[in-house]
Chain A
Amino acid sequence: AQSVAQPEDQVNVAEGNPLTVKCTYSVSGNPYLFWYVQYPNRGLQFLLKYITGDNLVKGSYGFEAEFNKSQTSFHLKKPSALVSDSALYFCAVRANTNAGKSTFGDGTTLTVKP
């Protein structure tokens, strides 16, 4: 069975500081990993994905994520946080053998304070 864990319900950082939102996963086979962001009263938006290749993936709005196979992790990072980054972030996994099912974590609320 697939699963995703986002161990932190909430992450607070000061504007300009680096941020990390953690994600670990469990899946049979090779994983496809995704990060999505949900702003208040708006739908989920795709940020970035890992398919294969370079373990460091760059995405929208300056975000990046690092795939670590041995630790089964896919942490989201940004070198310098903005107040406008405050939102709800979801990590998702899909096995490369199962096109149908994407499993999402329960989300992490990121708050960036000025």
Chain B
Amino acid sequence: DAGVTQSPTHLIKTRGQHVTLRCSPISGHKSVSWYQQVLGQGPQFIFQYYEKEERGRGNFPDRFSARQFPNYSSELNVNALLLGDSALYLCASSLGGAQFYNEQFFGPGTRLTVL
């Protein structure tokens, strides 16, 4: 079975640009979460979506936005990129729903470099 997939693998942008990261969850999973992981730190929660609705949002500025599509795939958008946005962006899927205790399955991540 295919795991969580993310695209692109690597991305280089300049300050002020916009970026879109994509994620496809495991088949049957209806929840997708996005995390930012800076070197030396644990993943920082950005968003969670379930059934196309936002279920949670972390402490990130409004430049960060996301959405989930009817096929449960998801996009993370970041506007007006800053140097500090350089990080590994992780997508995780889970069964979701009322089962808050479901473990998450992580994709390999998208490495974003902002110059």
Could you tell me which A residues sit within 8 Å of B by CB distance? 4, 32, 34, 36, 42-46, 49, 51, 90, 92, 94, 96, 98-107
Contact = CB atoms under 8 A, between A and B. Distances in A.
Given A32-B100, A34-B103, A101-B48, A43 B56 contact: no
5 contacts: A43-B106, A43-B109, A98-B100, A101-B45, A107-B42
A36 to B, nearest CB: 8
A96 B43 contact: no
B55 interface: yes
Contacts of A32: 100-101
A104 B101 contact: no
Contacts of A34: 103-104
Contacts of A94: 100-101
B40 A106 contact: yes
Interface centre among B3, B40, B54, B100 (most CB of A within 10 A): B100
Contacts of A105: 42
A96 B45 contact: no
A104 B43 contact: yes
Nearest to A50: B101
Nearest to A100: B56
A102 B104 contact: yes
A37 to B, nearest CB: 11
B43 A44 contact: yes
Nearest to B3: A43
B45 A103 contact: yes
B52 to A, nearest CB: 14
A36 B101 CA distance: 14
Contacts of A99: 48, 50, 55-56, 96, 98, 100
A40 B21 CA distance: 22
B58 A101 contact: yes
